[in-house]
A and B are shown apart, each in its own frame.
Chain A
Amino acid sequence: MPLLKVDKLTKSFGGLTAVSNVSIDINKGELVGLIGPNGAGKTTLFNLLTGVYVPSSGSIALKKNAATIELGGKKPYHVTKEGLARTFQNIRLFKDLTVMDNVRIAMHQNVKYGLVSAFLHFNKYHKEEDELKAEAERLLEIFHLSHKKMELARNLPYGEQRHLEIARALATKPSLLLLDEPAAGMNPYETAALTEIIGWIRNEFGLTILLIEHDMSLVMKICERIYVLDYGMLIASGEPNKIKKNKRVIEAYLGEDVSNA
């Protein structure tokens, strides 16, 4: 069984069906792209996977240690505990907190000391907090942010905020990472650097990644498989080279150039 199996997932908002009967599989270790025109339902699908929305119907099954866990309808923090982490299309950092705190907060679910240690700062607290800090530094290092760890997240340039969001998601120790337009607003140079980092963290952390992206240079370069959504429906799936030439995909993008990336 694949790591994630989405089966006939549907989400309606009143009369609008934002995600319609979508089935996708993601295997362990894969880097999969999710593309589609504006309003196709990509972010809605992410919100369903991560528990922000409750599915109207269908199922989301995650394989975890030989067991299968149904994620549909679970609360976001519960889904994160099972190993899914995400970034947001409209950056949602803890803006008035430091870069370091943004990452440390995301480590919360793996902290072992309890409330009493929190109140009284027993040795257990100090020992684990030291480890947390060191681990956060390591993550920040990957994204070249460690020299800015004491800065407020809101003061980072846009591209670095996107990096910090990925670092924060990684801090939850996910098995499946969902990235919602990680390169949005970046220039080609920044996008190329990001593409490299995404490939690197996948190997380093043994991750499976599903990413939404409009930047075709990024998608075509690192995605092994691509799913295409349009009007909430899955219209194509397969390897990047096949998707480029797929007639329905080209039509859906209506003139947008998918082929020359």
Chain B
Amino acid sequence: MRTLTKKNLLILGSILLTFALVQVLVLVGILDSFYEITIATICINIILAVSLNLVTGFTGQFSLGHAGFMSIGAYVCAIISMRIGTVGGFLLGLLAGALAATVVGILIGIPTLRLKGDYLAIATLGMAEIIRVVFLNLEITNGAAGLNGIPRYANWLWLYFFTVMAIVIINNFLKSSPGRACIAIREDEIAAESMGINTTKYKVIAFAVGAFFAGLAGGLYASYFYFLKPDLFGFMKSVDILVIVVLGGLGSLTGSVIAAILLGLITTFLQSFTAVRMIVYAVLLVVIMIFRPQGLMGSKEINDLLKFRFGKKEEKIE
């Protein structure tokens, strides 16, 4: 069995340790409910950022519509769990929301992914706006007033579980043949197609997987914050996610995770300085981008930094 390698056990160990550590800090009372919100936001942002990174950082498709997919997941999950008020209803809502976002992702991806660069960015931006306007006008979403009193089943345990799941699945995908096909498209689309890769198909796959996890993040958001309105998912939300991805490094999942945590903490600490908050935040971003234009991690992953420990073993294949 390949799943029980030393490396995987180590990863599993650190995943459980992180969970236990936060859990203990919460129980002891060092992390109060104020910080719990920060942690929840960080988890949701990690899922959003790694999924957008798959589309933009790894496949090279500049998307500005991630908040649109998030909102689909959020509303579908909210509507379902408001009707089935159990954990089962919440989980069903999450799954349905993520799948609904995937379907919309595929339907929108097929025509728009033929566009390149700026054109694709504008098309995805427009799509997210259309989704927002639809939610603004539907009866079932309660229009501009939004939905209130969504059952709150998302907690630290679920958030952490789904965050780890998103990272593991997207990381696995990137280390597979379909994942490498996506990366090849980013590198050189003409060469990729000449090497037998159906570029449209893999762009749509990356887009669909990205939409799935954005939808999942939306569902978690709806359940944790138990209130939704269309304005939460405007253009600025998509930009926020993009900022995390660019800051962490296009093409680095580790970078997205680190940037989501960093920005989450910075936002929390700046909370008490309301007046200067946005200015400090913006200056920080500018400074980081000047000194590390490739993002905090560039396209490197945590493995690359630890390579001297695992690299040799992993490469041996005879």
- Chain A residues within 8 Å of B, Cβ to Cβ: 50, 52, 75-77, 80-81, 85-86, 88, 92-97, 101, 104-109, 111, 113, 115, 117-121, 123, 125-126, 129-130, 132-134, 137, 150, 168-169, 171-172
Q: In the complex, what distance in Å separates the CA atom of A119 from the CA atom of B54? A: 13
Q: How many residues of B contact A (CB 8 A)?
A: 32
Whether B194 contacts A86 by the Cβ 8 Å rule is: yes
In the complex, chain B residues 30-57 whose Cβ is within 8 Å of any chain A Cβ: none
Since A97-B187, A105-B192, A123-B1 are in contact, a sample of 16 more A-B pairs with Cβ atoms closer than 8 Å, ordered by chain A residue number, is A77-B198, A81-B196, A86-B194, A94-B183, A94-B187, A101-B180, A105-B195, A113-B177, A119-B169, A120-B172, A129-B177, A150-B315, A169-B195, A171-B195, A172-B195, A172-B196
Q: In the complex, what distance in Å separates the CA atom of A75 from the CA atom of B315? A: 35
Known contacts A95-B187, A105-B195; is-contact A121 B172 (Cβ 8 Å)? yes
CB-CB < 8 A to A80: which residues of B?
Answer: 194-196
Q: Which residue of B lies closest to A95 (CB)?
A: B187
Cβ 8 A contact of A77, one of B178, B180, B199: B199
Q: In the complex, what distance in Å separates the CA atom of A106 from the CA atom of B194? A: 9
Whether A105 contacts B184 by the Cβ 8 Å rule is: yes
B174 to chain A, nearest CB (A): 9
B215 to chain A, nearest CB (A): 16
Known contacts A108-B181, A130-B317; is-contact A77 B196 (Cβ 8 Å)? yes
In the complex, chain B residues 272-318 whose Cβ is within 8 Å of any chain A Cβ: 299, 315, 317-318
Most chain A CB inside 10 Å of its own CB: which residue of B2, B173, B179: B2
Whether A97 contacts B183 by the Cβ 8 Å rule is: yes
Whether B191 contacts A92 by the Cβ 8 Å rule is: yes
Q: What sequence of 0s and 1s flags, for each residue 155-190 of chain B, a beta carbon within 8 Å of any chain A beta carbon?
A: 000000000000001001101111111011001101
Whether A168 contacts B195 by the Cβ 8 Å rule is: yes
Q: In the complex, what distance in Å separates the CA atom of A230 from the CA atom of B307? A: 53
Q: In the complex, what distance in Å separates the CA atom of A129 from the CA atom of B174? A: 13
CB-CB < 8 A to B317: which residues of A?
Answer: 130, 133-134, 137
B216 an interface residue at 8 Å Cβ cutoff?
no
Top 3 nearest A-B pairs (CB, nearest first) are: A118-B176, A109-B196, A94-B187
B197 an interface residue at 8 Å Cβ cutoff?
yes
Whether B193 contacts A75 by the Cβ 8 Å rule is: yes
Whether B188 contacts A92 by the Cβ 8 Å rule is: yes
Whether A96 contacts B299 by the Cβ 8 Å rule is: yes
Known contacts A81-B196, A96-B299; is-contact A111 B177 (Cβ 8 Å)? yes
CB-CB < 8 A to B176: which residues of A?
Answer: 113, 117-119, 121, 125, 129
Q: In the complex, what distance in Å separates the CA atom of A80 from the CA atom of B195? A: 7
CB-CB < 8 A to A169: which residues of B?
Answer: 195
Whether A118 contacts B177 by the Cβ 8 Å rule is: yes
Whether B177 contacts A107 by the Cβ 8 Å rule is: yes
Whether B172 contacts A50 by the Cβ 8 Å rule is: no
Whether A105 contacts B197 by the Cβ 8 Å rule is: yes
Cβ 8 A contact of A104, one of B180, B188, B190, B299: B180
Whether B172 contacts A118 by the Cβ 8 Å rule is: yes
Known contacts A76-B193, A109-B196; is-contact A118 B315 (Cβ 8 Å)? no
B205 an interface residue at 8 Å Cβ cutoff?
yes
Whether A76 contacts B179 by the Cβ 8 Å rule is: no
CB-CB < 8 A to A96: which residues of B?
Answer: 187, 299
A39 to chain B, nearest CB (A): 21
Q: In the complex, what distance in Å separates the CA atom of A130 from the CA atom of B177? A: 12
CB-CB < 8 A to B169: which residues of A?
Answer: 119-120
